[in-house]
């Protein structure tokens, strides 16, 4: 329990800091931190509901809470969608990596530690793509958001593949996890394809 609180606190602090760094040039600090609060409360509330009623769906409910908080922030402050998605993805991935790191220490879980390493690598991928996407010949539109979409697409694609081999891992929603994650990944890459064709 101690590790969970400590790493979640660190993850939340990094989440708010990265969110502010990514959006501070375009929005007021009060708007950015309110967005962060919306998402944090959404994650905490839905994670609590999952813990009490549907433990196997903790990831998807927490993800839904974050998405709902993001949507509320976009509507409340009229934020640009892809710019907000870019910032929140960059901010959430480190937080999620700390969640898995805490579980790996608490439960001596090799899978959680592997997820921590994977998410750390995804952070590196995000940094590379966010700095280089305007130079990609296949991405003609040059629109912001592709780094977040690629990271999310890869994340759910890997979840789909791993769920086929380890369907009963704690963060997986049973046998349907592979299909659900694959569908989400397909939709995300379809959005990337459509963005790449816009001029």
Q: Confirm if 155 and 115 have CB atoms less than 8 A apart.
A: no
Q: What string of DSSP letters covers 92-103?
A: HHHHHHHHHHHH
Q: Which two tokens stand for residue 116?
A: 């921590």
Q: What residue spans define the domains of the chain?
A: 2-197
The pLDDT score that the predictor gives to residue 171 is 56
CB within 8 A of 19, min separation 6: which ones?
A: 32, 35, 36, 87, 88, 90, 91
* pLDDT mean by block of 10 residues, the chain; 199 residues: 80 95 94 96 94 86 96 96 96 94 87 92 94 84 88 94 70 72 94 83
pTM confidence score: 0.91
3-state secondary structure of 64: helix
Cα 112 → chain centroid? 16
Number of residues written out for the chain: 199
Q: Which two tokens stand for residue 56?
A: 């196997």
The pLDDT score that the predictor gives to residue 74 is 96
Query: Max Cα separation, the chain?
Result: 50
The pLDDT score that the predictor gives to residue 68 is 97
Which residue is it, tokens 């997820």?
115
Q: Confirm if 84 and 35 have CB atoms less than 8 A apart.
A: yes
What is the spatial distance between Cα 181 and Cα 136, in angstroms, rounded to a whole number? 27
Q: Which two tokens stand for residue 36?
A: 């962060």
């Amino acid at each position: 329990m101690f590790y969970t609180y400590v790493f979640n606190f660190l993850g939340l602090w990094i989440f708010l800091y990265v969110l502010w760094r990514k959006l501070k040039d375009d929005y007021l600090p009060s708007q950015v931190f309110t967005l962060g609060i919306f998402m944090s409360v959404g994650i905490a509330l839905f994670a609590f509901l999952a813990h009490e009623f549907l433990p196997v769906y903790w990831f998807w409910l927490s993800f839904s809470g974050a998405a709902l908080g993001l949507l509320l922030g976009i509507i409340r402050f009229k934020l640009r969608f892809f710019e907000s998605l870019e910032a929140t993805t960059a901010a959430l991935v480190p937080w999620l990596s700390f969640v898995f790191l805490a579980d790996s220490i608490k439960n001596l879980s090799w899978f959680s530690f592997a997820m921590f390493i994977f998410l750390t690598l995804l952070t590196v991928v995000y940094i590379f793509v966010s700095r280089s996407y305007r130079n990609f010949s296949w991405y003609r539109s040059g629109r912001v958001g592709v780094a977040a979409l690629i990271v999310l697409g890869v994340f759910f694609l890997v979840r789909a593949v791993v769920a086929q081999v380890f369907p009963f891992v704690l963060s997986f929603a049973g046998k349907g996890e592979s299909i659900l994650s694959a569908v989400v990944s397909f939709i995300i890459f379809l959005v990337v394809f459509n963005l790449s064709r816009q001029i």
